[in-house]
Structure 1
């Protein structure tokens, strides 16, 4: 009988994921699967336990169940995004588009419906890590763009309002990078949704509106981030 293959042991510098779910079976399954695929995994049974662990550990990613007793995942995600830019992937049994939109409105970076394929979760988590790391600078690539009083550093994926750094979600950094590296700052709705985003075009509208609230004096009448009818959106930069 052949010996069983050795289990992969995540290295100390592997990405650390906090899985928050009141279902202990799901926590255990995700810990096992993600652990064998190179992640360090910590579990929490509810929002209160998650907050305790977040206060002690700097996690690289959060996998957060929406439906939990006590404080639900949407409330926790919205609270965390006001003070942290850690990427959040929401898990939920609700598949309606309106539920996905609500999740993304909290500032969450991605959304996955239960039941799901573990491989899809793994791909989405790796995509979130790549977005956070940012794209390497390329010869001749745009290094920064300015619009109004704002400057976006493409390499660092950092937005400044004068001397102040504007807090962005990973998805908002990705959107600004797409605009900065596109001809005349115009990007189609399909390209903004993209294969990695895992969201529909309606969710793109929600994300654009959220970004407008950070860069427009009057988000209802945008000057910088404008709608291009029949195409998508354009960021008018200098």
Structure 2
């Protein structure tokens, strides 16, 4: 039985980038449908199923953030999403992660890197079921959509870096995420900075931070979040 190629939705208002990316992804074995704006993308998603969506953030009219938010509330809510943007500000990255983006790549980008990120996300999506809306950890509850960690009625304050890290781990609950990926997907930038944020986050979550049961170290890889 021949395996169907993954179907990718490419949304970008720049004709050149959209066409070149579609051509490159197709050459790499993906099936690609393209849209020049959010409205066209919505029409495609109403009639076709996609394994992954690549959304440009800076589009005229409805931007990529708004389109992503709409996807996460609709029937295709579990579709993995990569955001593309010319803006490299930390606040944009945080906003994308808060809305449920799976990855974030700044323009200009190497097409080969985009392919590798697509392949990694698709492998991860095949392995894991959609994450729960809320994750419980020793009496604490984390809601990735709201970006909120609570102990009973008390909200636990998280820094932007801690929230980014916990959100990514929560969206891959039970699965190891490499330190390299965590450095790329958060504002940490360096793997060493990821380790520092993990230590700080453990102090807020773990019953005994010196013997963590929720944010576990996976030797030679990185970290994984284990809910109750």
Q: TM-score, normalised by structure 1?
A: 0.61
Kept in 2: contact 1:132–1:170 (CA 8 A): no
**Shift of residue 202 of structure 1?**
5.4
Separation in structure 2 between the aligned mates of residue 147 and residue 45 of structure 1, nearest angstrom = 42
Kept in 2: contact 1:16–1:39 (CA 8 A): yes
Separation in structure 2 between the aligned mates of residue 107 and residue 30 of structure 1, nearest angstrom = 23
Look up the SS of the partner of 1:58 in the other structure: coil
1:1-238 mapped onto 2 (5 Å cutoff) = 13-83=4-74, 84-134=77-127, 172-174=170-172, 176-178=173-175, 192=177, 194-197=179-182, 198-200=184-186, 226=206, 234=215
The C-alpha deviation readout for 1:117-153, integer Å capped at 9, x for no partner, is 1111000000000110117xxxxxxxxxx9689xxxx
The C-alpha deviation readout for 1:29-88, integer Å capped at 9, x for no partner, is 011100000001111010000000000000011000000011100011011112310000
Kept in 2: contact 1:35–1:41 (CA 8 A): yes
Cα RMSD (Å) of the superposition? 3.6
Structure 1 gaps, min length 5: 1-10, 136-145, 150-168, 182-191, 204-223
Q: Would the alpha carbon gap of residues 134 and 170 (structure 1) be closer, same or farther in structure 2, given more than 3 Å must change? A: farther
Q: How many residues align?
A: 169
Separation in structure 1 between the aligned mates of residue 178 and residue 226 of structure 2, nearest angstrom = 20
Q: Would the alpha carbon gap of residues 230 and 31 (structure 1) be closer, same or farther in structure 2, given more than 3 Å must change? A: farther
Separation in structure 1 between the aligned mates of residue 65 and residue 170 of structure 2, nearest angstrom = 18
Look up the SS of the partner of 1:177 in the other structure: coil
